[in-house]
Amino acid sequence: MGDWYLSKTPDALAYQMLKYRSRDGWTHRDLLRKSHPAPDDLVMAKPLDYVAHQARIVGGGEEYPLDGLPDLVVAFERAKTASTEGLVDLIGRFRLSWEMLPTEALNQPEVWRALLDPGLPITALMRQPR
């Protein structure tokens, strides 16, 4: 299982970890704790550390340092507090998927227009429960 994480580029890994944050009750943090992947360099270590420790640090009142993380992760973190206009910009620049956005943002027609603009697959739209 650890090899799956290490076989990705940092950008591809970030995409997988943000789009598919939880499935069937399992998170990437759970899987990392079970598989113990050992990256050879800091470029790969940073996204893994983010998934393993970000929630604990933020929950403890600290900010997780975003330097060295893939741009998609930084955009994901910015999206958490962005205005609708800011979300539209982040979606356009970083191709954020609807799974990467705050739930309340999915009530905004402008956000859905931005998601559809670059070509959200129609099957993904049909699966969306809203």
Domain ranges (residues) in the chain:
2-59, 80-127
Left if phi > 0, otherwise alpha if psi is -120 to 50, otherwise beta: which for 72?
alpha
Return d(Cα 115, Cα 121) in angstroms, integer: 10
List per-residue pLDDT tens for the chain, 130 residues long. Answer: 899 999 999 999 999 999 999 999 999 999 999 999 999 999 999 999 999 988 778 778 888 889 999 999 999 999 999 999 999 999 999 999 999 999 999 999 999 999 987 665 556 555 655 5
Burial state string for 39-70 with b = 16 or more CB within 10 A and e = fewer than 16:
beeeebebbbbbbeebeeeeeeeeeeebeebb
